[in-house]
Amino acid sequence: MAEEESDDPETPAFRFADFSYTYPQGNAPALSDITLTIPKGECVLVNGTTGAGKTTFCLAAAGVLCHEYEGTMEGTLSLSGRDVRSYEDMGDIGRRVGVVFDDADAQLIFTTVEEEILSGLENRGLRPEDVRTRLEEMLTFTNLTDLRYRAPHSLSGGQKQRVALASTLASGTECLILDEATAELDTSATESIIGILAKLKEAGKTIIVVEQKPRELASIADRVVTIVGGRMTKDETAAEFFATYPDEQEREEELVDTASVARTGEPQVTVRDLVHRYGKAAPALSGVSLDIYAGELTAIIGENGSGKTTLVKHFNGLLRPTSGTVTVCGLNAADETVTRLAQQAGLVFQNPDTMLFEDTVVREMQFGMKNIGIDPAASEKRIREVLAMVGLEGRESQFPRAMSRGERQRLAIACVVAMKPDVIILDEPTTGLDTEEAERIMGILQSLAGAGHSVIMVSHDMSIVKQHAQRIIRMDGGQIMSDSTRMHGGAA
């Protein structure tokens, strides 16, 4: 007879007992001797540096390691009083646990936002009128009403994450796991999501949250669990944790209107009266004009949906203007192939796993170089130099997906830099990274700007922007609202 879950409120939502897990072909356990009980209705924040084992912890709690991976599991893990291994499959577990990971693209498969949310409602046995009611509630809950007929692939990173969350919430599970689910959201959207989580907590839902900026979860977390090197080193109340957690200190710098800053040479990127529409929707970009020069580290900021990512995708031909012009290193971006533009403007996506698919680091780098006509046989020296620059020297034979998130991000940057583009574009380069790894990434970007590249990053992380960006372009509603250059901390 199959083991049954318990709806008794005294039965823990999750119970780990001496739980360890080693990935297939792993040399050491990714999690070791985890013993932890999470009562129903509790919100637990999982804290730790990049690569500590937080995502593995979430995969374990969600049943993914047991049912989808072939690694080695020791100890026990129960969900609602039932051993996770006794569930039939992930569909069976999905009746209890919903998961939102940092890669929203991997969770979105339908043609409209509305269809994504309806997919989470279809197997709940609701009456048709209740399905429509619940759909409207989810759209309102996650501030997606105006985007209901948009294709998910056309949305900004933060908007995609809200769609993934709405679809998960629609399934009505008792437990919700979020692994860096707010990492790609701006301040306003993050506050909205935290408001949603607060309401879910009030409704008695059990919530596990991994977040690199834990201060944002202070208002809803009950406990904070810290994982270091795959081991749980602390289990404390939220009050205890935040009593010693440092507040962020904002760096104030003198900024001036970029138009007043003298420059030499020709701009590497020129945009004039750029308009872009997705289908019949209102313009995502409306009359954008700007020039970007060699040696600048430029941050493009703004709320989700303000047009940041839409703008930079024109620089390497992933999008073409509805009207207006984009010129990159003397090339009209509307007339050139993506391959040709990639030689001049390389793009690092916000999720490095979107770019990484080869079996070794060196093959990842050779792939892009070969595509633009660089002979792989003549590329060894270049690869060694670039890997050393990003702190991955000697890792040529490593399997990329076994690296930490920060290492994969550095590898994605290396793959682009190896192709020697004059312009390097990065979409949310520090998303999901701890402070140390984010600083390492920004150091690399500053070095690239210092070497004469135009480095353009889309970001919502204002602490990173204020500390590192030389030039800050703020967008709203598809337009540039301000364009300022720092007079200290970098050459103008």
Q: Where are the chain's structural domains?
A: 14-244, 255-486
Q: Tell me the C-alpha distance between 490 and 449, whole Å.
A: 10
Collect all residues with Cβ–Cβ distance below 8 Å to 363 and sequence separation of at least 6. none
User: Residue for token digits 């004009």?
Assistant: 289
Q: Tell me the C-alpha distance between 483 and 255, whole Å.
A: 9
Decide which of 3.30.70.3270, 3.40.50.620, 3.40.50.300, 3.40.50.2000 is the CATH code for 255-486.
3.40.50.300
Closest by alpha carbon to 432, among 182, 203, 83, 115?
182
Q: Tell me the C-alpha distance between 438 and 230, whole Å.
A: 21
Collect all residues with Cβ–Cβ distance below 8 Å to 209 and sequence separation of at least 6. 43, 44, 45, 46, 177, 178, 181, 197, 217, 221
Confirm if 311 and 180 have CB atoms less than 8 A apart.
no
Q: Do domains 14-244 and 255-486 have the same CATH topology?
A: yes
Query: Mind listing the pLDDT tens digit of every residue in the chain (492 residues)?
Result: 345 666 677 899 999 999 999 988 777 899 999 999 999 999 999 998 888 899 899 999 999 998 888 889 999 999 999 999 999 888 888 888 999 877 777 788 899 999 999 987 876 777 888 889 989 988 988 889 999 999 988 887 678 888 888 888 888 788 999 988 777 677 777 787 788 889 889 989 999 999 877 888 899 999 999 999 999 999 999 999 999 887 655 444 578 999 888 888 899 999 999 999 988 778 999 999 999 999 999 999 998 789 999 999 999 999 999 999 999 999 999 999 998 998 899 999 888 888 888 989 999 999 888 887 887 777 888 899 999 999 999 999 988 887 888 899 999 999 999 998 999 999 989 887 888 888 999 999 999 999 999 999 999 888 899 889 999 999 999 999 999 998 754 433
Q: Tell me the C-alpha distance between 476 and 174, whole Å.
A: 37
Architecture of the 14-244 domain: 3-Layer(aba) Sandwich (3.40)
